[in-house]
Amino acid sequence: MAPAIRGFVTDLFPARPVAPAPGRRVYGPGMESPPIAPSRPVVTVLHGTEHVDPYAWIADAGDPEVLAHLTAERAYHDARVAPLAALRSELAAEMRARVPESETSPRWESGGWSYVRVTDPGLEYSRLMRRPAGDDAAADEVLLDLQEVHDAGGTGYLGEGLLDVSPDGRWLAWSTDAAGDEVYVLRFRDLETGRDLEEVVPRTYYGGAWSADSRSFLYTVHDETYRPFQVWRHALGTRVADDELVLEDLDDRLELELHGSRSGEWAVVSLRGRGFGEEWLVPLADVSTPPRLVRPRRVGVEYALEHAPGLGPGGADGFLVVTNLDAPEFRVEWAPVADPSAWSPFLHEDPSTRVWGVEAFSSGYVLSLRREGAAVVRVVPRDGPAYDVVPRQAGGMVRLGRNEDAASSAVTLVEESFVHPAVHRDHGWDGSVRERHRRTSVGVDLDAYVCERRSAAAPDGTEVPVVLVRHRDTPLDGTAPCLLYGYGSYEASCDPDWGIDWWRSLPSLLDRGVVFAVGHPRGGGEMGRRWWNDGHLAAKQNTFTDQAAVGEHLRDGLVSGVVTRGLSAGGLLQGALYGQRPDLWVGVVAEVPFVDVVTSMLDTSVPLTAQEWLEWGDPREPEQYARMAAYTPMWHLPEPGERPALLVTGAVHDPRVLVREPARWVARLRASDPAQGAGVDPAAPASPGTVLFRCETGAGAHGGPSGRYAELEYEAEVAAWVLAALGRP
């Protein structure tokens, strides 16, 4: 029996067990029949409504019985997709062939050094290297070989955390995750000797900052629910046990972030909630100084600071502040160093343009913007006219690259699309442009593909953007199949930098006559803050009807069958589309799907619950519960005869969507189907009604495998299944 049930908050809503259903058994690895989870119903009463959860026992992946069930599901998946082995290998070979044997990143300069990352032929991970800045004849020295770190770890997984060199160039703070659970071990390397110091911090999170004298390092720590909530200070050469707590926040609606300013003068501690937050400052010249609060948190008010010395009135030192205070699409304020809470107007709001961020340099500043659905950048010189840099391809984007030198004479910007690799260009403050670096995809004719933007009308008349990518020989006349991707949450924008290098995997589908579409439903940030406001909390249903409208638009004479795909909150989107509009799809790919919305949002012992109440709602409140209950996929399964083929993924080490969610969902789907999810043709991998659960039972993360080739092997698996569902194997 599994440990105590962690689904509903049983102290608020008492549970009572009922008799288990007879005849259920778990099939072992190598079975031909689907694995059926034992039914051990638990009844809970919430706001006067009784709910029965037959699979509440699927809670802890460390429990032997739970792990055995997950292993059986993976074995069943592997057996069902075995007929796709040749296609999968063919796709993987194509994708791998688009990767240059050796890859070199753009160089960047910092502290008198020129840095680069190089991935050698056949390897998954890169080496961090450097040489003296300006000395192009000098050989690069290796600071850290991540391939060696991966191989020594022995888990088959490597997640990269920090790679921060100290201001004096002597020390490297580096952290890695060997399981996929986003718990990073932090180490410090002496770059003169190449050896790591004995002091090791076993549990850290993203974000860090060096003191100005390179003798201390600030780092973040997360709690048992994976919420980053503390900043600690470590002095090199001392015991980790003697590290000092710098800042702690116990408001579990907020997550803590930490970074050092480009100027090297401040550590900025940001506490981010859904729609509110606050900032704290620590001078890097003396990191023992108590943090200074900028403005107290207030629900509904967001702000973020960027140190901008010399950019204030009369050349004053201070901060640029991006805020939504009295500006729904955000504006920029000025705050003096002497009193960062005293804001004055700097850049007024433009209701047609969402201001995402500002970056300050000695010669001016750069704005990251969202306009008409596209990510664009505005360069604003201190002396001279401002200019915008916009993507050249429909559905493309422009973003800020790596720029660590505040005194640089140019700003590195990156442009890419779903089929065009990233191009790094230096944009001078005088408007000049020089190409610095171009990522390559071997053997791809970029002119063979067409990218375009369209829109689909939602039921309320809202025009929902959709990006279409296809081979120039593939018509939009209703004869070509389609893969539709979507996310639609957290004001995140589904741009070409989303997840993986699409331009290495997509051509394998496009060359086979598949149209690739990316819907931008409300709940995302593609059309600004209003887009998020209209797609979360009470308006969450708009996300699902928007993407369904995109599916209808595609099927209305543009494409034939459609497979829909999404990950995490995008997996919730897939679960809702599967339950609400199964008629639109021939297949659904729900990766690490957040499908048990009410149950998870009641359980504060698991990651992300309290932080997410302002995204999804708090089901302890009857009204909010009612609207969440109306769409949570776990409670709204399509009729067995109406179900398209379904591929579900999960990972036992995933801290963002616990594996219990997809596991319980799949168990319910099997139990509610006379064919137990075997499909109308149990010999086929993706016939209608098929339910497959690809569970990572070993090391593996929320986003899947790590490594440049391993990621493509996974993409080849998904692509093979998608082609099977589309009838194009």
DSSP 180: S
To 5 degrees, how large is the angle CA 80–CA 85–CA 90? 145
654 catalytic? Reply is: yes
Confirm if 282 and 220 have CB atoms less than 8 A apart: no
Which of these is catalytic: 270, 654, 687, 706? 654
Confirm if 355 and 329 have CB atoms less than 8 A apart: yes
Q: Which residues pair with 46 in a beta bridge?
A: 49
CA dist., res. 262 & res. 277, Å (int): 22
DSSP 704: B
Q: Which two tokens stand for residue 88?
A: 């999968």
The DSSP line for 402-458 is ----TT-SEEEEEEE-SSS--EEEEEETTS-EEEEEE---TT--GGGEEEEEEEEE-
Which of these is catalytic: 126, 546, 702, 706? 702
Backbone angles phi, psi at 130, to 5 degrees: -155, 165
CA dist., res. 536 & res. 515, Å (int): 29
Backbone angles phi, psi at 708, to 5 degrees: -65, -35
CA dihedral 99, 103, 109, 112 (to 10 degrees): 170
Q: Which residues pair with 165 in a beta bridge?
A: 172
Confirm if 227 and 219 have CB atoms less than 8 A apart: no
CA dist., res. 318 & res. 382, Å (int): 15
For tokens 């973020």, name the residue: 304
CA dist., res. 106 & res. 125, Å (int): 16
568 catalytic? Reply is: yes
Q: Any long-range contacts for 623-630 (C-beta under 8 Å, 24+ apart)?
A: 624/537, 625/46, 625/47, 625/598, 626/47, 627/538, 627/540, 627/541, 628/540, 628/597, 628/598, 628/601, 629/49, 629/598, 630/541
Q: Which of 676, 602, 662 is nearest to 633 (CA)?
A: 662
Q: Which two tokens stand for residue 725?
A: 């569902």
Q: Which of 52, 51, 71 is nearest to 61 (CA)?
A: 71
CA dist., res. 128 & res. 169, Å (int): 13
CB atoms inside a 10 Å sphere around CB 457: 14
Single-letter amino acid, residue 343? W
78 catalytic? Reply is: no
Q: Which of 77, 35, 37, 76 is nearest to 56 (CA)?
A: 37
For tokens 């046990």, name the residue: 241
Burial 272-297 (b: 16+ CB within 10 A, else e): bbbbbbbbbbbbbeebeeebebbbeb
Which of these is catalytic: 417, 568, 687, 706? 568
DSSP 136: T
Confirm if 18 and 67 have CB atoms less than 8 A apart: no
Residue partners of 137: CB distance under 8 A and separation at least 6? none
Single-letter amino acid, residue 424? H
Q: Please name the helix (run of DSSP H) or strand (run of DSSP E) that holds residue 232, with its range, or none.
A: strand 228-235
DSSP 539: G
Q: Which residues pair with 175 in a beta bridge?
A: 186
Burial 459-493 (b: 16+ CB within 10 A, else e): eeebebbbbbbbbeebebeeebbbbbbbbbbbbbb
Residue partners of 339: CB distance under 8 A and separation at least 6? none
- Catalytically active residues are 568, 654, 702
